[in-house]
Amino acid sequence: MLQDHAGDVKDWQAIWAPSTCRMLAIVPKARHWELVIHATARSPRPVETQSLEVLTDVATRHYLHGTSQIEIARDLGVDPSTISRYLKRARDEGIVKIEIVPPRRKNVELGLAVAQEFGLSRAVVAELDELIEPITAVASVAADFISDQLRVGLRIGIGWGETLAAVVSRLTPRMVSDLQVALLSGGLADAAPGIQGHELARQLVELFPGSRATYLHAPSIVDSAAICQALLADRSVQAALAAAGQTELAIVGIGNMDPNATLLQASHILSADRAALVARGAVGSMNARFYDSGGSPVGHLDGRTVALDWDALESIPSVIAVAAGAPKAEAIKGALRTGCVDVLVTDETTADLLLSS
């Protein structure tokens, strides 16, 4: 159909497809003519002429959502081979760019050695740069690793602390939704902004659409066993700890016994408590609970602690511990010997120290 928007035009030129004798376009000498072509029943357009929108949709489903080519083909009503061609075209068009960044061989070997030494399913070792703080390097690597573990509807537990705050801040939105986020322990009494567990849970919920968080409204360590028992008798606290115990993936930090360590500095722990913990052999803390160099619990404060106990933490299918810096080496060793950690993310200097006698 030829539609006139600017009066009569006498001279125009038709362009025909040589193979099909089909008119493809009309080129008028005036500006306001347009050609409206009604589609005829013909075979579907080949992949070479598929719109960028379709290619982007298919690539997003496959590479970001993890949907198989067979499932995509079923949804779109085409053959799997067609989806394979779409994905190739998406790469050819630059819609999909695949970058392979092989880790340094030393770091791969370090990770394997650490995992074997401590019975872990995996150890991820970050490369250090003199211009980047170890915590920054480790947080970036941890964020990439954790992102690869996320899936729709995953039940995830989160601790608190500076290291985990750095990790969460480096997570990016993906085609993942409906996470169920729970806090693994109570909060800190006097912490720096941005490192509390409820703040990290809120960030996760905001990153991934449809996600929800179950908050634990209690301090991690309280002044007395009586207060702790009263809190643990509260139904909301019980529900929060139950949700934490049902998580499928947990992210925890590791603290040492330095007086300036986050847990010792920002909770209801007196200097006398610290001295008692050290006297009993404590070398570090994980999820607000203390342990010795062999990974055995040091229970001096357990009666005042609102957090998952050791058995509940160990029962979580995948516990990822993130810790950086040589001063934490002994604390990390002890944490790995508790039997609760499945994956460790650390830096290359610390990994070397973990393997030293």
Sheet containing strand 122-126, edge to edge, reads 122-126, 343-347, 318-322, 249-253, 155-158, 180-183, 212-214
Residue 72 and residue 195: Cα distance in Å, rounded?
Answer: 40
Q: Per-residue pLDDT tens for 108-146?
A: 899 999 999 999 999 999 999 887 888 999 999 999 999
Q: Residue 146 carries which DSSP code?
A: H
- Give me the residue spans of the domains in the chain: 1-42, 51-99, 105-355
Closest by CA position to 179, among listed 218, 152, 214, 143 = 152
Question: Considering the domain 51-99 in this protein, what is its CATH number?
Answer: 1.10.10.60
Which pLDDT tens digit goes with each residue over 23-50? 444 444 444 333 333 333 334 444 444 4
Query: What is the rounded distance in angstroms from the CA atom of residue 351 to the CA atom of residue 291?
Result: 20
Query: What's the start-to-end Cα distance of the chain, in Å?
Result: 85
Average pLDDT value for residue range 244-264 = 97
Q: What is the mean pLDDT of the chain?
A: 86
Task: Assign 92 a pLDDT band (cuts: 50, 70, 90).
Answer: confident
**pLDDT tens digits along 176-221:** 899 999 999 999 988 888 999 999 999 999 999 999 999 999 999 9
pTM of the entire predicted model: 0.73
Whether 105-355 and 51-99 are alike in CATH topology: the answer is no
- Tell which residue, 67, 69, 100, 66, has the closest CA to residue 87: 69
Bridge partners (DSSP) listed for residue 290: 285, 298
Q: How far apart are CA 88 and CA 96, in angstroms?
A: 9
Structure tokens of 107? 């770091």
The average pLDDT across 223-239 equals: 97
Q: What is the pLDDT of residue 334?
A: 98
Task: Provide the pLDDT confidence category of residue 65 given band limits of 50, 70 and 90.
Answer: confident
CATH of span 105-355: 3.40.50.1360
- β partners of residue 213: 181
Task: Kindly give the residue spans of alpha helices, DSSP state H, lying in the chain.
Answer: 52-59, 69-76, 80-92, 105-118, 134-149, 162-169, 197-207, 225-232, 235-245, 262-265, 271-279, 310-315, 329-336, 348-355
Which range has the top average pLDDT, 9-13, 21-25, 79-83?
79-83
Q: What is the pLDDT of residue 268?
A: 84
